[in-house]
Each structure stands twice: as structure tokens, then as C-alpha cells.
């Protein structure tokens, strides 16, 4: 029969091994042993088992493997369970950030939270700058309409797509040169802005309205027949007439409309719309017009 001294010695040796970072074998409990000594052996063996479980979990945690779950009812790793849960949540938040959600905020990991939140703020600022640059690369800075680069890209995209028929409206602002020469470029800018607003108010949500030159605008109407495009153009002309009746800023534009009936005809439609715009412009050239930024009555030809 093992003596109490033997049991205490075995327990002490295993506890010392645990404290040294070793994983000792469990104590083989003799059949003949006092109840107190048996309970001590069981407690020592439970400690050895708990240490083995904790070692596996903590090694995985140290290596960044969060798939290994903490062992249940293991008091040795209680302080690390919350860390494990926090890190798993942080991984999820990081995946959300990677997917574009920059509204994440961490407040449960001390200095790591501060660093993470600084990173998020930096990404937000970077995203804002990128969105601004993307906007500026596609839009005319004065009017907010799309610019010529985006217009050409969209024209080429539609030329390759099956969004047929598609139509194009070309609009040329009359009298801009005279306003610039007589009243200054500030007045000319107001005239351009008024023309842009007329076009913006007349087109549909899916149409691509662009300023493609100093006094020239264009609209791409995807999946739009000629008669449907005529309806849009009539609405733009009506907006122009209303603007002239309500404002001292007298806007006059010449328009051309054409439709691509087949894939690959967008370039030809653009050329035809431009030709028709000039035909309208020259047809009205000999008629008197009022194109003034301050409403003064003038007799002049459209440029």
C-alpha cells in the first residue's frame, strides 16, 4: 500500500514538472490508498489534463489559429477565452472592412483597438479621396455633368453591347463667344451652367448627359428608339423655353438627334447627330436671337 508520503511525492514531482513547462504523465492511482490520498491523486491528474488541453488551445491562439475552441470548464485558460472571442470578432470586423464596410469600430482590445480604429479612419479618408478622384476623372468640374472622357468610354461600351437601339442628342450653346467677349467669362460661365441644368432636368435617370466641349453637350440614351429620344429632346427644348421665360439668362441651343439601330453604329450616330445639330444651327443663323447673360436685348447671329 502506497504511503501518504509516496502520494505527496508523486504529486509534488508532477506539479514541479507542470511549472517547468513539461507535461507529465498522470499518476497511476494504487488500488489500496486512503480516500484523502485518492482525492489528491485525482486532483493532480485533473490539473495535468487541464494543462494539456490549455497547452493545445494556447499554442493555437499564439499561432493565430482561432479555429481551435477553448476547452470547456477549464479554469486555467479563463483569461484567454475573452481574448479568443474578441480576436474572432476582430477577424470578422476585418473581413467586413475588406468588403468595403468602413463603419466598423473596435473598443474592446485596448491599444490594438486604437490602432485598428486609426487604420479604419485612414481607410475612410483614402476612400473619400479615391471617390473624389474618381468623380473628378468622370465629371466636368464646372457643370457636374459627365466629361468627354466618360462620354467616349460609355459610347464605346454601348457600341460593343447589345443595348440597341440607342440614341444620341448633341446640343450646342449659341452665343457663348459673344457673351464672353461683351460681358466677361463669369457671365459666360453662368450661361454654361444654365444650359447644363436645362439638359440635366430634361433627361432620364439612365441617360448619360455630358459636357464634351466648351459650349457643346451630348446625351447618350441607352435602349432608346428614335421616337422615344424625340420625346426626351422635346422635354429638353421645353425646359429651355421655360428657362428663358423665367430668367434673365437667355439660353439658346441647337440640337441634333440620331439613333444607332445596329451594334457598332454608335460612332456613325454621333456623327449624324452632330451634322443635324449644325444644320439646325445654320438654319437659324440668319434669324435674330437674344443670347445675353443679363437679359439685354441684342441683335446678333448665333455662333
pLDDT digits (tens, 9 = 90+) for 16-50: 888 888 888 888 888 888 888 888 988 988 888 88
pLDDT digits (tens, 9 = 90+) for 45-88: 888 888 888 888 888 888 888 888 888 877 777 878 877 787 78
289 within some domain: no
Cα 118 to Cα 32: distance, rounded to the nearest angstrom: 64
CATH label of the domain that carries residue 197: 3.30.70.270
182 within some domain: yes
> pTM of the entire structure?
0.60
* Phi, psi at 216, each rounded to 5°: -125, 135
Together in a domain, 124 and 90: no
Cis amide leading into 282 (omega within 30) = no
Please give the pLDDT value at position 278.
94
Together in a domain, 259 and 208: yes
Report the 10 Å Cβ neighbour count for 204.
14
Cα 147 to Cα 20: distance, rounded to the nearest angstrom: 72
Is pLDDT above 50 for 102? Answer: yes
Please give the pLDDT value at position 294.
47
Please give the pLDDT value at position 163.
81
Is pLDDT above 50 for 297? Answer: no
CB 140 within 8 A of CB 210: yes
Together in a domain, 74 and 153: no
119 within some domain: yes
302 within some domain: no
Q: Which of 259, 257, 256 is nearest to 225 (CA)?
A: 259
Together in a domain, 124 and 224: no
Is pLDDT above 80 for 111? Answer: no
Please give the pLDDT value at position 1.
60
Please give the pLDDT value at position 114.
74
Residue with the three cell numbers 465629371: 139
Count CA atoms closer than 13 A to 39's CA, side-chain side.
Answer: 3
Cα 248 to Cα 58: distance, rounded to the nearest angstrom: 78
Together in a domain, 120 and 196: no
Cα 135 to Cα 130: distance, rounded to the nearest angstrom: 8
Helix (H) or strand (E) holding 20, with range, is: none
Domain that holds residue 277: 148-283
| Percent of the chain predicted with pLDDT > 90 | 38
Together in a domain, 186 and 278: yes
pLDDT band at 274 (very low <50, low <70, confident <90, very high): very high
Is the Cα dihedral 267, 168, 193, 182 positive or negative?
positive
196 within some domain: yes
Is pLDDT above 80 for 287? Answer: no
75 within some domain: yes
Amino acid at each position: 500500500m502506497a504511503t501518504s508520503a509516496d502520494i505527496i511525492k508523486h504529486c509534488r514531482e508532477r506539479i514541479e514538472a507542470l511549472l517547468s513547462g513539461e507535461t507529465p504523465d498522470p499518476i497511476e492511482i494504487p488500488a489500496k490508498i486512503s480516500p484523502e490520498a485518492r482525492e489528491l491523486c485525482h486532483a493532480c491528474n485533473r490539473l495535468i489534463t487541464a494543462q494539456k488541453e490549455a497547452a493545445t488551445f494556447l499554442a493555437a491562439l499564439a499561432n493565430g489559429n482561432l479555429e481551435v475552441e477553448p476547452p470547456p470548464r477549464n479554469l486555467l485558460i479563463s483569461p484567454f477565452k475573452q481574448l479568443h472571442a474578441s480576436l474572432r470578432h476582430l477577424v470578422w470586423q476585418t473581413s467586413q472592412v475588406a468588403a468595403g464596410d468602413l463603419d466598423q469600430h473596435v473598443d474592446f482590445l485596448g491599444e490594438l483597438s486604437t490602432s485598428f480604429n486609426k487604420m479604419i479612419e485612414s481607410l475612410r479618408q483614402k476612400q473619400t479621396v479615391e471617390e473624389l478622384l474618381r468623380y473628378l476623372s468622370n465629371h466636368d468640374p464646372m457643370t457636374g455633368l459627365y466629361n468627354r472622357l466618360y462620354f467616349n468610354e460609355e459610347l464605346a461600351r454601348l457600341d460593343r453591347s447589345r443595348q440597341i437601339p440607342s440614341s444620341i442628342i448633341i446640343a450646342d450653346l449659341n452665343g457663348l463667344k459673344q457673351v464672353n467677349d461683351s460681358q466677361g467669362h463669369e457671365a459666360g460661365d453662368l450661361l454654361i451652367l444654365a444650359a447644363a441644368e436645362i439638359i440635366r432636368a430634361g433627361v432620364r435617370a439612365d441617360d448619360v448627359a455630358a459636357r464634351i466641349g466648351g459650349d457643346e453637350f451630348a446625351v447618350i440614351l441607352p435602349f432608346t428608339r428614335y421616337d422615344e429620344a424625340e420625346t426626351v429632346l422635346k422635354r429638353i427644348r421645353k425646359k429651355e423655353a421655360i428657362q428663358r421665360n423665367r430668367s434673365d439668362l437667355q439660353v439658346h441651343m441647337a440640337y441634333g438627334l440620331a439613333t444607332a439601330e445596329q451594334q457598332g453604329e454608335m460612332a456613325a450616330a454621333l456623327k449624324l447627330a452632330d451634322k443635324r445639330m449644325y444644320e439646325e444651327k445654320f438654319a437659324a443663323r440668319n434669324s435674330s436671337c437674344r443670347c445675353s447673360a443679363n437679359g439685354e436685348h441684342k441683335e446678333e447671329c448665333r455662333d
